[in-house]
C-alpha cells in the first residue's frame, strides 16, 4: 500500500534528479521512501501522510530553538511585510554582524572583527578560501579527509556528509587542476600536518577544518589539535579557516571555538565560517575574521564576492531573533538533553549486545557501529554501517526521525521536553535489537 509520501516521491523523481534537492534526503543509504514534510513545530515534524515524528534532524542543525519558534516566525512575518529583498544595505544586517562579532569572544579575545553575510555555508567557505588565497598570494589549500565544507569544486575531495554516505571519492565535474590545489590529509594526525607543511609550506594559503568534525559522524578534535593547526599554519605564513557552519552557535554561545577557549585551548583562527543556526532556518551564512583580512573583500579590496540575496531581510530577521533567544539556558537545556540521550543510546545498544561507540563533541553526538569512537575518516568508515538502516527504520516506525545516514550527527533542540525525551528513550531498545539482528 502506498501512502502520500510514496506518491510524492514518485512525482518528485519525475521532475527532480533523484526526487530531492540535496542528496542525503533521498534515503540512499537507509533505503525506503523519504518522508515529505508538511509542517514542523517545536521538537516535532509532520509528514505529508499526517505522521508525526519527534525530530532529531532539526533541519540538519538550524532549528536550535525548535521548529517554527513563534518569535522567530513573527520576526520573519514582520520583515516580509516590509519587503522581501532590496539589494541594498539594511539596518538589520548591521545588527546581525555586530551580534555575531560580539558573541564570538572569550574575554577580550575577539577573532571576528568584520562579518560578511552570504546565503549558504558553501558560499561562506568558498569565499573564505578565496580570501585566504588573496591575502597570502598562495594557491594550495589543506583539508582533512572526511570533513565537509559544502560543494564548491576544491572542497569535494574525500569529503564527508553526502559524499561519505554515497562512498564517493569526490565528484565528477571537478577539473583535475582545481582538485590538485587541495591537499587532503588525515584528521587528528599531527605528523600528517607536519609533513604537508614541510613539503609545501611556502605554497599553502590555508588549512580549512571543521571546528569539530561532524560530517563523518561526530569526530571531535583530539585535545590540542586545533591549536596545532593554527600554530603550524601561522609558522608558515598560512591562515587557519575554522568552519563553524555546523557547530557555530549550536554547541556554545561562541561556537566550538568558544567551547575550546573556555576549556583552556587558546588558538586564533584567521577566518571563521558560520551557517545553519546563524540564519535561524532561513538561507543565511556568514564569514568573519580580523579587519585586515576581511577588508580585502570587495568593495574595499581586490577579492571579489557578491550576492543578489546576501543579507536578505527575512533571513536576517530569523537569524537575529534566533541568536537573541539563544541564551545560556538554551545551551544548558540542549547539553543536558544530549547527555541524557548519549547515555540512553549507549545503554540500549549495550543491552542489545551491539558493538558500538557513542561519540560526542559538545552537545553533538551520534553512534558508530565499532568498538571505539573513530578518530579519523578511515576509522569512521571501518564500522558495521549496515546496522544503521534497521536501527533508523525502527526508530521511525516508533515515531522518531533520525538523520538518514550513519555519518550524520543527531541534532537536539531547546524544544525537546520531557515527553519527547521519554518517547525517544522508549524507542531506543527495539531499534538497538533491530540493529543487533541485522
Give residue number: closest CB to ligand PMP.
121
Cell reading at 62: 538550524
| Site residue total, ligand PMP (CB under 6 A) | 16
376 catalytic residue (yes or no): no
Q: Tell which residue, 197, 175, 173, has the closest CA to residue 185.
A: 197
* Contact between 67 and 27 (Cβ < 8 Å): no
Residue 312 interacting with ligand PMP (CB under 6 A): no
* Residue 73: HSE in the Cβ half-sphere, 13 Å Cα cutoff: 9
243 an active-site residue? yes
At 182, which helix (H) or strand (E)? strand 182-185
Q: Which of residues 140-159 bind ligand PMP (CB under 6 A)?
A: 148-150
Strand partners, 297: 303
Angstrom distance (rounded) from CA 110 to CA 407: 32
Residue owning grid cell 532539526: 58
Residue choice 245, 318, 373, 434 for contact with ligand PMP (CB under 6 A): 245
Site string for ligand PMP, 271-290 (x = CB under 6 A): ----x---------x-----
Please identify, using beta-carbon distances, which residue of 149 and 416 lies nearer to ligand PMP: 149
Among 5, 29, 125, 363, binds ligand PMP (CB under 6 A): 125
Nearest CB to ligand PMP, comparing residues 214 and 421? 214
Q: How far apart are CA 342 and CA 368, in angstroms?
A: 12
Q: Is 93 in the site for ligand PMP (CB under 6 A)?
A: no
394 contact partners, CB below 8 Å, separation of at least 6: 427, 430, 431, 433, 434, 435
What is the separation of C-alpha 133 from the centre of its chain, rounded to a whole number of angstroms? Answer: 24
Q: How far is the CB of 213 from ligand PMP (least distance, A)?
A: 8
120 binds ligand PMP (CB under 6 A): yes
Which of 373, 364, 405 lies closest to 388, judged by CA? 405
Among 246, 337, 348, 412, indicate the residue that binds ligand PMP (CB under 6 A).
246
* Nearest-approach distance from CB 120 to ligand PMP, in angstroms: 4
Sign of torsion over alpha carbons 9, 11, 16, 21: negative
**CB contact at 8 A, 41 and 420:** no
Q: Would you say how long the chain is, in residues?
A: 438
Q: By CB under 6 A, what part of segment 41-70 binds ligand PMP?
A: 60
Our CB check for ligand PMP shows the closer of 133 and 149 to be 149
For ligand PMP, the closer CB: 148 or 392 = 148
Binding of residue 161 to ligand PMP (CB under 6 A): yes
Would you call 148 a catalytic residue per the annotation? Answer: yes
Query: Which one of the listed residues 27, 47, 55, 148 is annotated catalytic?
Result: 148
Interface region with ligand PMP, contact rule CB under 6 A, candidates 185-193, 241-249, 299-307, 339-347: 241-249
Candidates 47, 267, 276, 388; catalytic one: 276
* Position among 29, 215, 368, 405 found at the interface with ligand PMP (CB under 6 A): 215
Which region, judged by CB under 6 A, interacts with ligand PMP, from 26-34, 117-125, 201-209, 320-328? 117-125
DSSP string for 83-115:
-S--SS--HHHHHHHHHHHHHS-BTTB-S-SEE
**Minimal distance in Å, beta carbon 215 to ligand PMP?**
5
Per residue, the 3-state secondary structure of 124-181, as one string, reads HHHHHHHHHHHHHCCCEEEEECCCCCCCCHHHCCCCCCHHHHCCCCCCCCCCHHHHCC
In whole angstroms, the minimum distance from the beta carbon of 81 to ligand PMP comes to 27
Quote the CA–CA distance of 284 and 145 in Å, as a whole number.
Answer: 26
Q: Does 342 bind ligand PMP (CB under 6 A)?
A: no
Q: Residue 405 and residue 380: Cα distance in Å, rounded?
A: 13
Minimal distance in Å, beta carbon 279 to ligand PMP?
9
- From CA 209, how far away is CA 160, in angstroms rounded? 12
Select from 55, 243, 270, 379 the one that contacts ligand PMP (CB under 6 A): 243
Which x/- pattern over 419-438 shows residues binding ligand PMP (rule: CB under 6 A)?
A: --------------------
All residues at 6 or more sequence positions from 199 whose CB lies less than 8 Å from its CB, including other chains = none
**Which positions from 366 to 385 touch ligand PMP by CB under 6 A, shown as an x/- string?**
--------------------
Residues that bind ligand PMP (CB under 6 A): 60, 120-122, 125, 148-150, 161, 210, 215, 243, 245-246, 275, 285
Q: Which residues are catalytic?
A: 148, 243, 276
Amino acid at each position: 500500500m502506498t501512502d502520500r509520501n510514496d506518491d510524492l516521491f514518485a512525482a518528485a523523481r519525475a521532475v527532480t534528479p533523484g526526487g530531492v534537492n540535496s542528496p542525503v534526503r533521498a534515503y540512499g543509504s537507509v533505503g525506503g521512501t523519504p518522508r515529505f514534510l508538511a509542517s514542523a513545530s517545536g521538537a516535532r515534524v509532520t509528514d505529508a501522510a499526517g505522521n508525526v515524528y519527534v525530530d532529531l534532524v532539526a533541519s540538519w542543525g538550524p532549528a536550535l530553538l525548535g521548529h517554527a519558534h513563534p518569535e522567530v516566525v513573527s520576526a520573519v512575518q514582520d520583515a516580509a511585510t516590509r519587503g522581501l529583498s532590496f539589494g541594498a544595505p539594511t539596518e538589520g544586517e548591521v545588527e546581525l554582524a555586530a551580534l555575531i562579532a560580539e558573541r564570538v569572544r572569550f574575554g577580550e579575545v575577539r577573532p571576528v572583527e568584520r562579518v560578511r553575510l552570504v546565503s549558504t555555508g558553501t558560499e561562506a567557505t568558498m569565499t573564505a578560501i578565496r580570501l585566504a588565497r588573496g591575502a597570502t598570494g598562495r594557491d594550495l589549500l589543506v583539508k582533512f579527509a572526511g570533513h565537509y565544507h559544502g560543494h564548491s569544486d576544491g572542497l569535494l575531495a574525500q569529503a564527508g556528509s553526502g559524499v561519505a554516505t554515497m562512498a564517493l571519492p569526490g565528484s565528477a565535474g571537478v577539473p583535475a587542476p582545481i582538485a590538485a590545489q587541495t591537499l587532503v590529509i588525515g584528521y587528528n594526525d599531527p605528523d600528517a600536518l607536519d609533513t604537508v607543511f614541510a613539503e609545501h609550506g611556502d605554497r599553502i594559503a590555508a588549512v580549512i577544518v571543521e571546528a569539530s568534525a561532524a560530517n563523518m559522524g561526530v569526530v571531535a578534535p583530539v585535545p590540542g589539535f586545533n591549536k596545532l593547526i593554527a600554530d603550524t599554519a601561522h609558522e608558515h605564513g598560512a591562515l587557519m579557516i575554522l568552519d563553524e557552519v555546523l557547530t557555530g552557535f549550536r554547541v556554545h554561545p561562541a561556537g566550538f571555538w568558544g567551547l575550546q577557549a573556555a576549556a583552556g585551548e587558546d588558538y586564533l583562527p584567521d577566518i571563521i565560517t558560520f551557517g545553519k543556526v546563524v540564519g535561524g532556518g532561513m538561507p543565511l551564512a556568514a564569514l568573519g575574521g580580523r579587519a585586515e583580512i576581511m577588508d580585502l573583500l570587495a568593495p574595499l579590496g581586490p577579492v571579489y564576492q557578491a550576492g543578489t540575496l546576501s543579507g536578505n531581510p527575512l533571513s536576517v530577521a530569523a537569524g537575529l531573533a534566533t541568536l537573541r533567544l539563544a541564551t545560556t539556558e538554551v545551551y544548558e537545556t540542549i547539553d543536558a538533553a544530549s547527555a541524557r540521550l548519549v547515555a540512553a543510546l549507549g545503554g540500549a545498544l549495550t543491552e542489545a549486545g551491539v558493538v558500538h561507540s557513542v561519540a560526542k563533541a559538545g552537545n553533538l553526538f551520534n553512534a558508530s557501529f565499532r568498538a571505539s569512537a573513530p578518530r579519523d575518516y578511515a576509522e569512521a568508515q571501518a564500522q558495521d554501517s549496515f546496522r544503521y538502516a534497521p536501527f533508523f527504520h525502527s526508530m521511525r516506525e516508533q515515531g522518531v526521525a533520525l538523520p538518514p545516514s550513519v555519518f550524520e550527527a543527531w541534532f537536539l533542540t531547546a524544544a525537546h521536553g520531557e515527553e519527547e525525551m521519554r518517547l525517544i528513550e522508549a524507542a531506543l531498545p527495539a531499534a538497538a535489537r533491530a540493529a543487533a539482528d541485522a
